[in-house]
Amino acid sequence: MTTFTARLGDRSLFPHLEARVYLNHGGISAPSVAVQAAVNEVLDDYARRGGAAFLRWNEQRTRLKGKLGALIGVAGSDIALLPNTTRGVIDVALCFPWSPGDRVILFQGEFPANITPWQRAAATFGIELCFLPLDEWNRDVEAGLASLSRELDKGARLVAVSAVQFQTGLRMPLAEITRRAHARGAQVFVDAVQACGAVPVDAGAAHVDYLACGSHKWLMGLEGCGFVYVHPSRVAALRPNTAGWLSHEEGLRFLFEGPGHLRYDRPIKQTVDFLEGGNYNTAGLAGLEASLDLIQQLSVPAIHEHVNAYLDVLEAGLVARGFQSLRSADARYRSCTLSLLPPPGVSVVDLQRQLGDRGVACALPDGVLRFTPHWPNNAAEIPFVLDSIDQILAALPAR
């Protein structure tokens, strides 16, 4: 097996990436050659051995859970592997032990993946949803926390929040949110897809109750695989409303141990992996492990520091050109995202498209221009980005 080495600011493990400057890791990351090699190894193994390859890759999942647990400061045994972040939100929302009238605190401006499942839970179980505006948090995190406390004082069963807000890049104070929620008897669910892999997340130290994440963004894996963490003290209370055939204890025996083991009355597992109801994206999970190995070589704190040094320079250049930065002025609340509003009269849609035409890949979630570099990006790219912006702005009609 080939060993791959990651270096901050070195794009050599991405030789097929066409964009001259790739700044959309907060959308979908391009797979490295390490990820491609891991996926190919799975395909080659199944192509050669068919079903006999299953047990080998089943063991790989246990190893991967341990690495994911280390990433977020929890035990690997408290993690279940799922197709994506959304699946994790759905499972918790539909398996939570609701009582009619329970209140859930959400945030206006969240990515829909952390809204829709709670809406479905509300429709199914008769719970109440309360939305707090994120605008206040963007202006003043302490004011946002005070607003959350006032809402918690009215009574709440759960708070659902993203570790990093997808549009502005605001890094939410998870430990303080959880402390305030727990003090008032509420639990906390975290959507970590815009954080894990580039922003330090310690779910254990923050005493988070639930956390879900996909692999295709900052973890730099592929679409179609992710994970959910459930604090061990919360698992027993969950109702297996989304259980599948692999959710049962000893659910595989009938496939390997001869006749007499096909039963439908085996108990549902009492561990978080009851959420792993069916077959896995084996190739995607192998790719995730390969990418995670590169991230762990560098360390998430080092990646976070590297990316923010990059963004410091890019942000200053864009603000000087009339852009309005949405990045927090307080370094404690910065992620690896730089979002901006363009100068007055400039179409953000046209700007993003023309940047793409010039080889700069970025995103435009809900009307903001979003740059999301990762560990392979090098500050030497920034002059090209700014020159491209200058060319686009210069070509606009006089205002």
Six-digit token pair at 97?
Answer: 């032990």
Q: How confident is the model at residue 255 (pLDDT cuts 50, 70, 90)?
A: confident
Q: What pTM was computed for the model?
A: 0.96
In this structure, are 264 and 350 located in the same domain? Answer: no
Q: Do 341 and 277 belong together in one domain?
A: no
Q: Give the range among 23-37, 88-102, 225-239, 250-264 with minimum mean pLDDT.
A: 250-264
CATH number of the domain where residue 348 is located: 3.90.1150.10
User: In this structure, are residues 147 and 156 in contact, taking their beta carbons and an 8 Å threshold?
Assistant: no
Percent of all residues in the chain with a pLDDT value above 70, rounded to a whole number: 99
Overall average pLDDT of the 197-216 stretch: 98
**Domain-embedded: residue 241:** yes
The answer to the question of residue 1 being in a domain is no
Q: What is the pLDDT of residue 1?
A: 65
Residue 399 pLDDT greater than 60, yes or no: no
Pair 93, 109 in one domain: yes
pLDDT tens by residue, 55-83? 899 899 999 999 999 999 999 999 999 99
Q: Is residue 4 a part of any domain in this protein?
A: no
DSSP readout, 221-279? --TT-EEEEE-HHHHTT---TT--GGGBTTTTHHHHS-TT---S-PPBPSSGGGG--S-
Is 320 part of a structural domain of the chain? yes
* Contact between residue 22 and residue 40 where contact means Cβ atoms under 8 Å apart: no
Asked if 201 and 58 touch (Cβ cutoff 8 Å), the reply is no
Judge whether 326 lies within some domain. yes
Q: Is residue 10 part of a domain?
A: no
Domain presence at residue 206: yes
Work out the pLDDT band at 396, boundaries 50, 70, 90. Answer: confident
- Regarding whether 248 and 185 lie in a shared domain, the answer is yes
Does residue 6 fall inside a structural domain?
no
Q: For residues 256 and 312, state if they share a domain.
A: no
Domain boundary among 295, 311, 327: 295
Q: Which of 131, 363, 85, 387 is nearest to 223 (CA)?
A: 85
Decide which of 272, 295, 318 is a domain's last residue.
Answer: 295
Domain count, the chain: 2
What is the reported pLDDT for 196?
98
Residues 233 and 365 occupy one common structural domain: no
Average pLDDT over residues 376-398: 93
How far apart (Å, rounded) are the C-alpha atoms in residues 313 and 189? 34
What's the CATH number where 283 sits? 3.40.640.10
Say whether both 331 and 201 belong to one domain.
no
Give yes or no: residues 233 and 311 share one domain.
Answer: no
271-281 burial, b at 16+ Cβ within 10 Å, e below that, comes to bbbbbbbeebb
Average pLDDT for 315-334: 97
166 shares a domain with 147: yes
- Considering the domain architecture, whether residues 263 and 327 belong to the same structural domain is answered as no
Same domain, 83 and 66: yes
**pLDDT tens per residue, range 153-176:** 999 999 999 999 999 999 999 999
Domain boundary among 295, 312, 343: 295
Verify that 149 and 50 share a domain, yes or no: yes
In SS3 terms, 177-224 reads as HHHHHHHCCCEEEEECCCCCCCCCCCHHHHCCCEEEEECCCCCCCCCC
Mean of per-residue pLDDT scores for the chain: 96
Instruction: Work out the pLDDT band at 398, boundaries 50, 70, 90.
Output: low
> In which domain, by residue range, is 203 found?
40-295
Question: For residue 26, which of 361, 387, 389 has the smallest C-alpha distance?
Answer: 361
